[in-house]
Homo-oligomer: A and B are copies of this chain.
Amino acid sequence: MLKDIENANAKFYEAFENLSITMMESVWSHNDNCICIHPGWEMFVGWIAIRESWATIFANTENIKFTITNSKTRIYQEVIAVITCLENIEMFRNEAKIQLGVVATNIFEYNNNQKKWLIVHHHGSPLSNYFPPPLVQI
């Protein structure tokens, strides 16, 4: 079970790196009460609004790479899982490399129909003082 949840989390970041709405669609629950909070933004509620926020982000991102560290997983009643992790982000803007750290709370719910874990909540927030860990400084 733990492996399945961690895989679901990895697929979320894979969708983000690939700037792929199709991949993002397959990792999120399409429920009206899903919530997504991008760094610095207000909350988006419901899959339709969340999908649009990703489309906007993808349209304005050229290249982004995630290295996930400090990941903690908690599972409740075998149906809800909370992963908290640090997103070490490398991106390019106007040919300049930007490195930033974002702390994320990702909540997954087990979907009985699809027999897999789907994201119902993502909250990302920027770190004020970020120092990339050695493995990200390559």
Contacts and interface: CB of A to CB of B under 8 A. Distances in A.
Interface in A59-117: 70, 72, 74, 76-77, 79-80, 82, 84, 86, 103, 105, 107, 109
A77 B74 contact: no
Contact of A121 (B35, B105, B127): B105
A128 B42 CA distance: 9
Contact of A80 (B37, B77, B86, B124): B77
Interface residues of A, number: 32
Interface of A is mostly: strand
**Number of chain copies forming the complex:** 2
Given A41-B127, A123-B103, A125-B126, A35 B84 contact: yes
Interface of A: 33, 35, 37, 39-43, 45, 70, 72, 74, 76-77, 79-80, 82, 84, 86, 103, 105, 107, 109, 120-121, 123-129
A112 to B, nearest CB: 13
A80 B128 CA distance: 30
